[in-house]
Amino acid sequence: MIRFDHVTFQYEKADSPALKDVCLSIAQGEFIAVVGHNGSGKSTLAKHINGLLVPTEGTVTVCGMRTDDENNLLKIRQNIGMAFQNPDNQLVTTVVEEDVAFGPENLGIDPKEIRVRVDEALKAVGMTDYAEYAVHHLSGGQKQRIAIAGILALKPQVLVLDEASAMLDPSGRIELLETVHRLHDSGMTVVMVTQYMEETTGCDRIVVMKGGCVLLDDTPQEVFRHTDLLLESNLVPPETVIVRDSLKSLGYSIPDDVLTAKQLAEALCPSK
């Protein structure tokens, strides 16, 4: 569905490339987390998926379309929905339902059809009751859900979240994560860029970025086996994984696929 083929990208004024020879492919229905510290290139990677940025070298192909062809852009952006970090700076209009309608309006869809899509999208993120609210009265988590509804109204195949949880409080983050997981369950391909390792435990695959390169690309269990590599890339594994490794160094035998508090307790003391 999405293919990065030896992608290198350099910002105009930068000394070194932000992405170096990245190869990556994402299949339909996958839930992928892209992690990395600031400046690792993870956001740059995300912006390549919907053609906001175009590779300096190499190609990005999305649903069979190359992103460096301008004629494809509208079609690509319709298929790749993208949510950003600051919930305030991505909502365009004052009223919730008007904002959700913004995307389909841009596509020139029939007003009746837009109405249907808006209602469906608001329902999918659980914000139907807020259709006529003023955007600035909502909480951060609610704003982010509206942003996602606005994307769903475009009926995309892929949802890309570019650090969409970074500015939310814990309950807002849970709200967002639950919404995204629910969408994934109903068939959406999800690419989630984040710095919070604890959000990634439920993903199919984690891509760890470092200095513009893909450092690791594997299942959460495999990735969290390499705690030292993560710490080296200035990433902090979930607290449970840190505790797990300390206990292991004490001589406790705990399997590597232990990622949550419950699993750890179970490993230390199997319930009968």
Partner 1 sequence: MRDITLGQFVAGNSVIHRLDPRTKIGMMILYIAMTFLVKKIWFLSIPFAYLIIELILSGISLRYILNSLKPVRFLLILMFILNLFFTKGEDVWLDLGFWKLTGEAFLQSCFLTLRIILLVAGASMLTLTTSPIALTDGLEKLLSPLKVFHFPAHELAMMMTIALRFVPTLMDESDKIRNAQMSRGADFESGNIFKRGKSMIPILIPLFVSSFRKADELAIAMESRCYHGGEGRTRMHQLKFRLIDLYAILITLAFLAAMIVTLILL
Partner 2 sequence: MSIEINHLTFAYTQGGKKLEPTLNDLTFTIEEGHFLGIIGHTGSGKSTFIKHLNGLLPCEKGTVKVDGLDLSEKSERKKVRALVGVVFQYPEYQLFAETVAEDVAFGPKNMKLDEEEINARVTEAMHLVGLDPDRFSSRSPFDLSGGERRRAAIAGVLSMRPKYLVLDEPMAGLDPLGRREILALLEKLRAESGCTIIMISHSMDDIANHATQVLVLEKGAVCMYDTPENVFSHAEELQSIGLSVPNVTQICIELNKRGVAIPSSICKEDAFIEWFREEKAHA
Contacts to partner 1 by CB under 8 A: 50, 52, 74, 77-78, 81-82, 84, 86, 88-95, 97-98, 101-111, 114-115, 118, 134-136, 147, 150-151, 154
* Secondary structure (3-state) at 4: strand
Tell me which of partner 1, partner 2, none is bound by residue 78, counting a contact when its beta carbon lies within the kind-specific cut-off of 5 to 8 angstroms. partner 1
Among residues 81 and 220, whose Cβ is nearest to partner 1? Answer: 81
Picked from partner 2, partner 1, none, the partner binding residue 239 (CB below 5 to 8 A depending on kind) is partner 2
Residue 32, beta-bridge partner list? 191, 205
Shortest reach from residue 198's CB to partner 2, in Å: 9
> What gap in Å lies between CA 260 and CA 241, rounded to an integer?
8
CB closer to partner 2 out of 106 and 246: 246
The strand pairing partners of 160, in sequence order, are: 82, 191
Nearest residue (CB) to partner 2, 8 versus 139: 139
Q: Are 259 and 201 in contact (CB under 8 A)?
A: yes
For partner 2, the closer CB: 97 or 175? 175
247 binds, among partner 2, partner 1, none (CB under 5 to 8 A by kind): partner 2
How far is Cα 107 from Cα 112, in angstroms, rounded to an integer? 14
- Burial annotation 116-126 (CB, 10 A radius, 16+ → b, else e): ebbeebbebbe
CB 215 within 8 A of CB 207: no
Please choose which of partner 2, partner 1, none residue 103 contacts, taking the beta carbon within 5 to 8 angstroms, the exact cut-off set by kind: partner 1
Q: Which is nearer to partner 2, 115 or 262 (CB)?
A: 262
- Pick between residue 153 and residue 215 the one whose CB is nearest to partner 1: 153
Contact 238, 259 (CB under 8 A): yes
Q: How far is the CB of 160 from partner 1 (least distance, A)?
A: 9
For tokens 């942003």, name the residue.
147
Provide the minimum distance between the beta carbon of 261 and partner 2 in the complex, in angstroms, as a whole number: 4
Expressed in angstroms, the distance from the first to the final Cα of the chain is 45
Positions that interact with partner 2 (CB under 8 A): 37-39, 85, 139, 166-167, 169-172, 195, 197, 234-236, 238-240, 242-243, 246-247, 250-252, 261-262, 264-266, 268-271
> What does 74 bind: partner 2, partner 1, none (CB cut-off 5 to 8 Å by kind)?
partner 1
Taking the C-alpha atoms of residue 87 and residue 50, their distance in angstroms, rounded to an integer, is 19
- On whether the CB atoms of residues 83 and 179 are closer than 8 A, the answer is no
Give me 88's structure tokens. Answer: 């305030």
Residue 162: name the closest of 255, 35, 258 by CA.
35
Nearest distance from C-beta of residue 210 to partner 1, angstroms:
25
